[in-house]
Amino acid sequence: MKSRLSRWLTLGWLPLLVFFVFCLALPSWAQGQSKSQPRPVQGMSRTVTMQELCGGCTVEKFATCGKSIEGPTFDDQGNLYIVSMSVGGIEKISPDGKCSHFADTGGTPQGLKFHNGMIYGVDRKRGVFTLDLKTAEVKDYMPDFYGEHFIGLNDLIVDPQGGIYFTDAWGSSILNPRGAVYYLSPDKKITRLINNMAYPNGISLSPDNRTLYIDEFMAQRVIAVPVVAPGILNIGFAHVMANLAGGWGPDSMAVDAKGNIYAAHWGAREVVVLDPDDFIVGTIDLPPDAGPMTNNVAFHQGYLYITEGRKAEIWRVKMNVEGAKLN
């Protein structure tokens, strides 16, 4: 009888002992799980990491060229063209990094885009222009809006039809939001699409051309607007993709083939990367001795090129993703 009682007590306490040990171990196990699979913080991308996009994202200096540079674009031979805003020039940088003066606009050039063997540009004083790469001749393409002078054009992007979206920004600000976005069709019909923005700066398109991205510089934000058809926007569904902090604001941008957006953050010495779902992936940082005025980016043959205005330097970082196909 005593032997049976002892056996019963031993077997009866055994499940309780196992349960007690399990309760003690549970917090440590849960903590280990949370460390291996952290929950993304608010605003952090759920779909991509900087490691996937550019590994360690280490930048290297490619060239020093021009004065107050911006507007990088590449031709079919791999030559890089940039503007020298303060002196009205356009510089050419060969694939090996050698810089040479190429043309003058007679104004204040801001942005360039290569399209169909020619460069289209915007100039604060002369509007939209073209640059012949054989003769270096600059010609007016659209100098005004039906006789009304632009306040000062800033950047542009070309769509698959050959139409041009461009921003008009100079003199507008957070307290004087009179900047605008225009569309210039291939047959040179011009439409004002958006008005009253606080310095609309960089402008780009998603890889499927269904979303127009605009950097509203003085408001420190990136805006996405649905494209219904070439030159027609769904303003009612425009939304803020991201609000930046530090520096002045997002200057100009580029988009990769997977739809991630790379916005040069002026005054912050960085490029801010957003995923297509409007979350911040991270930043590509220039070294501390670089100038702080990161103002534009462009993809070319596996690299992202970054222009910095104060020291007139072009940096680049090796990427694991290609840029979106430019039209």
Top-confidence residue, 71 or 42 = 71
Give the per-residue pLDDT at 3: 52
The pLDDT assigned to 8 comes to 43
The tens digit of pLDDT for each residue in 86-128 reads 999 999 999 999 999 999 999 999 999 999 999 999 999 999 9
Whether 38 has a pLDDT exceeding 60, the answer reads no
Check residues 208 and 18 and name the one with the higher pLDDT. 208
CA angle 85, 91, 96 (to 5 degrees): 140
Q: Is the pLDDT of residue 11 over 50?
A: no
Q: Which residue has the higher pLDDT, 28 or 171?
A: 171
pTM score of the predicted model: 0.88
Instruction: Give the separation between CA 118 and CA 120, rounded to whole angstroms.
Output: 7
Taking only the tens place, the pLDDT of each residue in 283-293 is 999 999 999 99
- The band of 274, judged by pLDDT with boundaries at 50, 70 and 90, is very high
Tell me how crowded residue 40 is: count the other CB atoms within 10 A of its CB: 10
Give the model confidence (pLDDT) of 207-265 as tens digits. 999 999 999 999 999 999 999 999 999 999 999 999 999 999 999 999 999 999 999 99
| 3-state DSSP of the chain | CHHHHHHHHHHHHHHHHHHHHHHHHHHHHHHHHHHHCCCCCCCECCCCCHHHHHCCCCEEEEEECCCCEEEEEECCCCCEEEEEHHHCEEEEECCCCCEEEEEECCCCEEEEEEECCEEEEEECCCEEEEECCCCCCEEEEECEECCEECCCEEEEEECCCCCEEEEECCCCCCCCCCEEEEEECCCCCEEEEEEEECCEEEEEECCCCCEEEEEEHHHCEEEEEEEEECCEECHHHCEEEEECCCCCEEEEEEEECCCCEEEEEECCCEEEEECCCCCEEEEEECCCCCCCEEEEEEEECCEEEEEECCCCEEEEEECCCCECCCC
The model's pLDDT over 134-184, given as tens digits with 9 standing for 90+, comes to 999 999 999 999 999 999 999 999 999 999 999 999 999 999 999 999 999
Share of the chain above pLDDT 70, in %: 87
